Chains A and B, each alone.
Chain A
Amino acid sequence: MTSISLQHFLILSFILFSLGTYAVIVRKNILVALIGIELILNAANLNFFAFSKFKNYQFGELAIIFVIIIAAAEAAVALAIFINLYRNFASINPDKANTMKE
C-alpha cells in the first residue's frame, strides 16, 4: 500500500521533538517555550501513533488521547502561571524572572 515505514515516522517525530526542545531551551520568550512544549507533545503523539500502527501497540491510541488531555490541562495551568509571571516581573523573558542575588 505504502512505502512509508516506521523510520519515516520516527524521524519526523525526532525532528519535531528537537525543534520543540530548541524552542524550550533557547528562546527567550515564554510563549514560544509553551509552543515548544506543544511541539514536543505532538512529537510524542506521533511516536505513539507510529508504534501503534506498525507494531500493533494497542495502548498507543489511548496514550495519544491521554497525552492530549494532559497537554490541554497543562497549557491552561501554564498560561495562568505565565500571567502571574508577567504581572510580577513585567516581562515575558524568563531570564528576567530571576530573584537570585548577583
Chain B
Amino acid sequence: MATINLIFFSIPLSAIVGFILTFIVPKKIKRIYFIEIFFSLITLLSSLYLLILVLSKNFSSIHFSIDIFKLNSNFDLIFNYQANKTEIYLIFLTALISFLVRLYSIEYLKNEERLKNYFVVLSLFVLSMYGIILSKNLFSLYIFWELVGFCSYYLIGFWRHKEAAANAAKKAFIVNRIGDIGFFLSILIFASTYKTLDLGNISNAIGKEIYPFSQKEFLFIALLLASLGAFAKSAQMPFYVWLPDAMEGPTPISALIHAATMVAAGVILISKLFAISTAEFLLIVAYIGTITALAASFIALSQNDIKKILAYSTISQLGYMFAALGFGAYSLALGHLIAHAFFKAGLFLSAGYIIHLFEGEQNIKKIFIDKKKEKILFFSFSIFSLSLCGFPFFSSFLTKDSILNFSLIFSIENNNYFFSASLFLASLLTSFYTFKLFFQIFFNKKEHNFLNHARHISSDNKTLYLAPIAIFAVLSLFYIFSSTPFDVNRSFVLNDITSELKLLAIHDFYYRHIDNTKGDFLNALDLNSLEFNQKYIRYHLLTTLLSLLMFSIGIVFAAILYIKNILNPEKIKKKLFFIYKLSEKKLYFDELYDIIFVDLTIYLSRFVAFIDKNIIDKTIEFVSYSTKIIALLAKYLDKYLIDGTLHLIAFIFEFLGLLIRKIQTGKVQTYIALSVLIMIIIYIFITN
C-alpha cells in the first residue's frame, strides 16, 4: 500500500520539482532541458506502473486532500484529489504525450534561445493538467484550469516577435476567459448552496434533493454556466475561434496542448459533472457537440494550411466527444478522448516535421513529399489518417463507431434525426478533408514548385523527430483498447471507465427525468436497461455499414479531386462558390465577433469619448466659467456693497465730524454767539 502511494505521489511531486528546478536554474546552462526530461521520465514510469496495476486489476483508488481552511459550519475549502482508474488512464496519457513532445521539442526548438522559458511553462502546464485530472474539488479544478489557460497563452505567443502569434495568444486567452466567467459563476452558485465545493459532497446533496436556490431549474443554469467554461476551453461553437489562430505557436505545443490535453480539459470537466447532470443539460451538450462536429468539419474542407486543417479536425472530434457525453455515453467520450489524443498528437508532430522539411511552408498546395524518401513519415501519417476517419482496426473505430451508434439510437428514440444525420455527415466530411490532406501531401506532385523535393536532412537528429511519431502511430492501432477490434464491449479501457460510472453514484435523477418528461424533452437514454442493450446490438451493424459508407464516399471524392487531377477542384470550387466561401471564411464567425465585440467597443468608446469631450469637459468649463462669474460678482459685491458700506460709514462720520468741527471756528465771536444762544435758552427754560 505504501509503495503505491509513494509511486503515485511521485507523479505530482516530480512534476513540481521539475518545474521549480527548471525555473531557478540559470539560463546559461546548456541542455537545461535534461532536468525536465529526467523528471518527466520519472512521471512516465510511475504512471506506467500504475497503469499496469490498473490493467491487472490490482488497483484501488487513491485519495489525498489538502485542507485549505474550514469555517465553522458554513464553508470549508478542502482540496480533494482522487485517482480512480479513469484518472490513471488520463494521467498516463498526459505523461506519455508530454514526454514525447518534450523529446520532440528538443530537436524542433534547438536553435531557440528562450528554450528555458519554454520548458518552464511547459512543465507548469503539465503540472496543472495533472491537477485538473486529479481534482475532485471544483475550486482546485478552477485554479488549475486558469493555470492551463495561462500556459497556453504564453506558449501560443512564445515567438513574441511575430505579431500574429501575439494576437492569437490574446484571442485564446480572452475567449478562454469568457468561458471561465461562466465556470466561476457556477462555482459561486455551488458554493453558496452546498457550502462545499467537493464534487462528491455535491452529488450526495443533490441525491438528497438539495438544489441551488432550492429549485431544480437552477441546477441546470449552474451546470450550463460551468459548461460555458468547458466549451470555451475545448473550442466548441461558438467559442472555437481561438483554436485555429493558436496554430501560430510552435508545433509541439499544438500537439501537446491543442490536440491532446488542454482541449480535452473541457471534456474532463463535463465528465466530472456528469454525476450531477440533468437530462436537459446533457441535451444542450449534445446539441453543441453535434453542431460543432458538423460545422468544424465543414470549415476544414476549404482550408489549405496543414495546421489549420488539423485544428478544425480537433474541434470536430471534440464535438464528437461532447455529443457522446450528451447522449449519456460517458465512457465512450473518455475513450474517444484517449484515442484521439494519440493520433492527433502524432498528426501534429508529423506536420511539424513536414514544416521543418519545407522550412516553414505550411500550405499543402505547395508541398509534396516523395513517399519513398520518408517512409516512416508516410506510414505513420497513413495510420493517423485512417484512425482519424474511424476505419476498422484502428483505435478510434471502436469509440467513434459506438458514438455513431448511440446517436442513431438517440435519434430514433426521440424522433429527432438531427443528431445522427449530422454526425454521419460529419464523418463523411472528416474522411474527405483527412484524405484531401493526405493526398495533397503525398500523391499530388506539384509541377511548378521548386519545393517539390524536400531537402534531405542529414545533419539533424531525425530520431527525435521520428521516434515520437512512430510511437504515436503504434498507439493508434486497435489493441490499445481491446483485444478484439470490433467489439467495444470487450474493451478493457472502456469497461474500466464504465465501471467507474457506478462509483460516481449517478443519480437516478438522470433517469427519473425520463419518466417525468415524456413528450416535453427529448428522452434520455437509460443505459442500464435491457431494452437499451438490445437496441444497441440491433443497430450496431447498421451503424458500422453506414460509417464505412461515409468513409468510402469521402475518400473517393478526395481521390477524385486530388490524385492525378481527374477532376479539377477549381471548377468545383466555382460551382459551389457560395458554400466554398462559407467554409473558407470559417462560417464568418470571426467577422461576426469582430463586428459585435470590436466594432461595438470602438463605437462605444468613441461615443463615450465624445460625451467626455463635449459634455463633461464642457460642464467643467461651464463650472469654471460660472465660478469666474461668481467671483466677479463677489468682487463687485465686495467692492461696492461692503466697501461701500464702510465708505458710507466713514463718510457719515467724516461729515458729522466736519459738521461739528464747524463749531470750533477759532473765532471768538462765534463762541460768544453760541454762549448767548445757550443762555437765552436757559433763560427761557428757567422762567418757564
Instruction: Give A residues with C-beta under 8 Å from B.
Output: 21, 24-26, 28, 33, 94-95, 97-100
| Min CB–CB distance A27 → chain B (angstroms) | 8
Among A24, A25, A28, max chain B CB count under 10 A is at: A25
Kindly report which residue of chain B lies nearest to residue A101, judged by CB atoms.
Answer: B666
Which residues of chain A come closer than 8 Å to B676, judged between CB atoms?
A: 21, 25
Which residues of chain A come closer than 8 Å to B672, judged between CB atoms?
A: 24-25
Q: Is the CB of A25 within 8 A of B666?
A: no
Among B664, B666, B673, max chain A CB count under 10 A is at: B666
Question: B665-688 interface mask toward A, CB cutoff 8 Å, 1 = contact, 0 = none?
Answer: 111110011001000000000000
Count B-side interface residues using an 8 Å CB cutoff: 9
| Min CB–CB distance B292 → chain A (angstroms) | 112
Besides A25-B673, A95-B669, 11 more A-B contacts (Cβ < 8 Å) are: A21-B676, A24-B672, A25-B669, A25-B676, A33-B669, A94-B667, A94-B669, A97-B668, A98-B666, A99-B666, A100-B665
Q: Which of B638-688 contact A (CB under 8 A)?
A: 664-669, 672-673, 676
| Min CB–CB distance B236 → chain A (angstroms) | 108
Which residues of chain A come closer than 8 Å to B666, judged between CB atoms?
A: 98-100
Kindly report which residue of chain B lies nearest to residue A85, judged by CB atoms.
Answer: B668
> Roughly how many angstroms separate A62 CA and B586 CA in the complex, as a whole number?
148
| Min CB–CB distance B62 → chain A (angstroms) | 117
| Min CB–CB distance B267 → chain A (angstroms) | 113
> Roughly how many angstroms separate A97 CA and B667 CA in the complex, as a whole number?
7
Q: Is the CB of A98 within 8 A of B669?
A: no
Among A26, A95, A97, max chain B CB count under 10 A is at: A95
Kindly report which residue of chain B lies nearest to residue A33, judged by CB atoms.
Answer: B669
Q: Is the CB of A94 within 8 A of B664?
A: no
> Roughly how many angstroms separate A93 CA and B191 CA in the complex, as a whole number?
116
Q: Is the CB of B667 within 8 A of A26?
A: no
User: What 10 A-B pairs are tightest by C-beta distance, nearest first?
Assistant: A100-B666, A98-B666, A25-B673, A95-B667, A94-B668, A25-B669, A25-B672, A94-B669, A24-B672, A98-B667
Q: Is the CB of B669 within 8 A of A24?
A: yes
The dominant DSSP class at the A interface is: helix
| Min CB–CB distance B577 → chain A (angstroms) | 115
Which residues of chain B come closer than 8 Å to A26, judged between CB atoms?
A: 669
| Min CB–CB distance A77 → chain B (angstroms) | 15
Q: Can you give 23 contacting A-B residue pairs, CB < 8 Å?
A: A21-B676, A24-B669, A24-B672, A25-B669, A25-B672, A25-B673, A25-B676, A26-B669, A28-B669, A33-B669, A94-B667, A94-B668, A94-B669, A95-B667, A95-B669, A97-B668, A98-B665, A98-B666, A98-B667, A99-B666, A100-B664, A100-B665, A100-B666
Kindly report which residue of chain A lies nearest to residue B668, judged by CB atoms.
Answer: A94
Which residues of chain A come closer than 8 Å to B673, judged between CB atoms?
A: 25
Q: Which of B332-384 contact A (CB under 8 A)?
A: none
Kindly report which residue of chain A lies nearest to residue B677, judged by CB atoms.
Answer: A25
> Roughly how many angstroms separate A99 CA and B668 CA in the complex, as a whole number?
12
> Roughly how many angstroms separate A95 CA and B669 CA in the complex, as a whole number?
8
> Roughly how many angstroms separate A85 CA and B576 CA in the complex, as a whole number?
139
Among B664, B668, B673, max chain A CB count under 10 A is at: B668
> Roughly how many angstroms separate A94 CA and B668 CA in the complex, as a whole number?
7
> Roughly how many angstroms separate A48 CA and B665 CA in the complex, as a whole number?
35
> Roughly how many angstroms separate A61 CA and B435 CA in the complex, as a whole number?
168
> Roughly how many angstroms separate A24 CA and B672 CA in the complex, as a whole number?
8
Which residues of chain B come closer than 8 Å to A100, judged between CB atoms?
A: 664-666
Kindly report which residue of chain B lies nearest to residue A100, judged by CB atoms.
Answer: B666
> Roughly how many angstroms separate A98 CA and B669 CA in the complex, as a whole number?
11
Question: B253-283 interface mask toward A, CB cutoff 8 Å, 1 = contact, 0 = none?
Answer: 0000000000000000000000000000000
> Roughly how many angstroms separate A7 CA and B175 CA in the complex, as a whole number?
132
Which residues of chain B come closer than 8 Å to A98, judged between CB atoms?
A: 665-667
| Min CB–CB distance A29 → chain B (angstroms) | 10
| Min CB–CB distance B109 → chain A (angstroms) | 108
> Roughly how many angstroms separate A97 CA and B665 CA in the complex, as a whole number?
11
> Roughly how many angstroms separate A37 CA and B672 CA in the complex, as a whole number?
12
Kindly report which residue of chain B lies nearest to residue A27, judged by CB atoms.
Answer: B669
> Roughly how many angstroms separate A26 CA and B668 CA in the complex, as a whole number?
11
Which residues of chain A come closer than 8 Å to B667, judged between CB atoms?
A: 94-95, 98
> Roughly how many angstroms separate A28 CA and B667 CA in the complex, as a whole number?
10
| Min CB–CB distance A11 → chain B (angstroms) | 18
Which residues of chain A come closer than 8 Å to B669, judged between CB atoms?
A: 24-26, 28, 33, 94-95
> Roughly how many angstroms separate A94 CA and B672 CA in the complex, as a whole number?
12
Which residues of chain A come closer than 8 Å to B668, judged between CB atoms?
A: 94, 97
Question: B44-84 interface mask toward A, CB cutoff 8 Å, 1 = contact, 0 = none?
Answer: 00000000000000000000000000000000000000000
> Roughly how many angstroms separate A26 CA and B669 CA in the complex, as a whole number?
7
| Min CB–CB distance B79 → chain A (angstroms) | 103
> Roughly how many angstroms separate A95 CA and B671 CA in the complex, as a whole number?
12
Which residues of chain B come closer than 8 Å to A99, judged between CB atoms?
A: 666
| Min CB–CB distance B670 → chain A (angstroms) | 8
| Min CB–CB distance B179 → chain A (angstroms) | 100
| Min CB–CB distance A84 → chain B (angstroms) | 14
Among B664, B665, B669, max chain A CB count under 10 A is at: B669
| Min CB–CB distance B257 → chain A (angstroms) | 107
| Min CB–CB distance A4 → chain B (angstroms) | 25
> Roughly how many angstroms separate A98 CA and B668 CA in the complex, as a whole number?
9
| Min CB–CB distance B658 → chain A (angstroms) | 12
Kindly report which residue of chain A lies nearest to residue B680, judged by CB atoms.
Answer: A21
| Min CB–CB distance A10 → chain B (angstroms) | 14
| Min CB–CB distance A88 → chain B (angstroms) | 14
